């Protein structure tokens, strides 16, 4: 009996010690997790002296500011940064502001001019902040975006960009605050290049863009002459479609902002969904005539196709009243739906 009691007491003591050890173990894990959560995560680092590191930015961090009231000092010390790898930034329809940050290092033996490119001319507000990571000094702050006059941009190019000259051994932290005027954040394709490579790339883009516009304009003029000689309305409808496509493309790629009305950003933004709605209206009218849909027996799909085509014409001026985001959303839904109907009718 005494032996049984001693065995029981020893077993209880062992279980008790095991519970204490498990409690201490999980307590240490919790403390480590809290400590890791409390630390500000490190931003991605890119060596501009290494050609293999240049190009599209594949590692960076983002932070959502739902109130759009966070100041830069508060943001840079936040513990809520999220690391993004291998994805382009696409925040979509949101009223929140977004911060992006990454590090740039120059391990070379000489100064190197580089350019950070957002890959889009349509971001409403972009505020750049560049810090020296060695001593924490704020080196520059730049305000840009297509909702500001073009002269506010730090570098005149079709896409929003930031040129920097990095000294040998310099280590920088780059922050970009993205804000939207009406609730739509444009998709970004962040890239870091040497300034020479960036200028060469933009020169090629200007050349290809000019050739593209030249071809569209040639087809447009040719269609006008065809209408004059044949009196068939399909040619003038096609010419109007091409002209509106030229206008829409100019706005989308930032050509209009740089060369036509750099001092009217509030006009340039709603002009994009307005011209797109009109462009697609004339495209659907042209498709109807070209496919001789009026000669086919009427059906429910044709009726829906006609209704959506008329709606596109009616809502086009609303882009100036409701803003770019609402116009873009409405146009996208209507156009995609009508293209689906058009494909079904074409296959039939």
Who wins on pLDDT, 238 or 4? 238
Give the residue-averaged pLDDT of 120-143: 85
Confidence of residue 157 (pLDDT cuts 50, 70, 90): low
Cα dihedral sign for 100, 105, 111, 113? Answer: negative
Who wins on pLDDT, 1 or 262? 262
Each residue of 142-153: pLDDT tens digit? 888 877 776 545
Read off φ and ψ for residue 87, nearest 5 degrees.
-130, 145
pLDDT given for residue 268 in this prediction: 76
pLDDT given for residue 38 in this prediction: 40
Give the residue-averaged pLDDT of 66-87: 81
Least trusted range by pLDDT, from 212-226, 258-272, 312-326: 258-272
What average pLDDT does the structure give for the chain? 79
Model confidence, pTM: 0.72
Q: 62 has which bridge partners? A: 82, 100
Least trusted range by pLDDT, from 44-48, 58-62, 76-80, 268-272: 44-48
Cα dihedral sign for 200, 202, 206, 208? Answer: positive
Confidence of residue 123 (pLDDT cuts 50, 70, 90): confident
Residue 155 pLDDT > 60, yes or no?
no
pLDDT given for residue 36 in this prediction: 41
Q: What percent of the chain has pLDDT over 70?
A: 83
**R_g (Cα) of the chain, nearest Å:** 29
Who wins on pLDDT, 15 or 244? 244
Q: What percent of the chain has pLDDT over 90?
A: 16
Give the residue-averaged pLDDT of 319-329: 78
- Using CA atoms, how far residue 152 sits from 100, 143, 213, in Å, is 21, 7, 27
Each residue of 9-53: pLDDT tens digit? 454 455 545 545 544 544 455 444 434 444 445 556 777 777 777
Least trusted range by pLDDT, from 10-24, 50-64, 70-84, 91-105: 10-24
């Amino acid at each position: 009996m005494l032996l049984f009691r001693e065995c029981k007491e020893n077993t209880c003591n062992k279980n008790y010690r095991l519970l204490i050890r498990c409690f201490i173990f999980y307590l240490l894990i919790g403390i480590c997790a809290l400590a890791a959560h409390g630390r500000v995560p490190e931003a991605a680092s890119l060596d501009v002296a290494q050609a293999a590191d240049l190009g599209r930015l594949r590692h960076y961090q983002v932070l959502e500011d739902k109130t759009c009231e966070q100041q830069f000092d508060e943001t840079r010390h936040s513990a809520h940064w999220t690391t993004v790898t291998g994805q382009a930034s696409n925040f979509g329809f949101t009223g929140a502001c977004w911060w992006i940050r990454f590090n740039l290092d120059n391990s070379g033996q000489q100064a190197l001019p580089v350019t950070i490119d957002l890959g889009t001319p349509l971001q409403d507000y972009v505020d750049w902040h560049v810090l020296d990571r060695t001593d924490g000094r704020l080196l520059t702050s730049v305000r840009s975006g297509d909702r500001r006059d073009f002269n506010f941009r730090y570098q005149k190019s079709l896409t929003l960009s930031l040129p920097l000259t990095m000294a040998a051994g310099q280590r920088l932290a780059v922050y970009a605050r993205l804000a939207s005027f009406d609730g739509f954040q444009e998709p970004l394709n962040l890239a870091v290049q040497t300034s020479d490579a960036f200028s060469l790339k933009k020169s090629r883009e200007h050349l290809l863009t000019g050739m593209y516009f030249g071809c569209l304009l040639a087809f447009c003029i040719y269609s006008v002459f065809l209408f004059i000689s044949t009196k068939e309305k399909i040619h003038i409808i096609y010419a109007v479609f091409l002209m509106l496509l030229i206008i829409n493309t100019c706005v989308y790629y930032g050509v209009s902002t740089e060369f036509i009305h750099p001092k009217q950003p509030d006009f340039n933004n709603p002009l994009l969904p307005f011209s797109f709605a009109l462009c697609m209206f004339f495209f659907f009218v042209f498709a109807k005539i070209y496919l001789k849909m009026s000669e086919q027996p009427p059906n429910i799909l044709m009726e829906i196709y006609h209704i959506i085509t008329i709606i596109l014409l009616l809502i086009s001026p609303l882009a100036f009243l409701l803003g770019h985001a609402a116009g873009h959303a409405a146009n996208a839904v209507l156009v995609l739906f009508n293209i689906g109907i058009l494909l079904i009718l074409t296959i039939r």
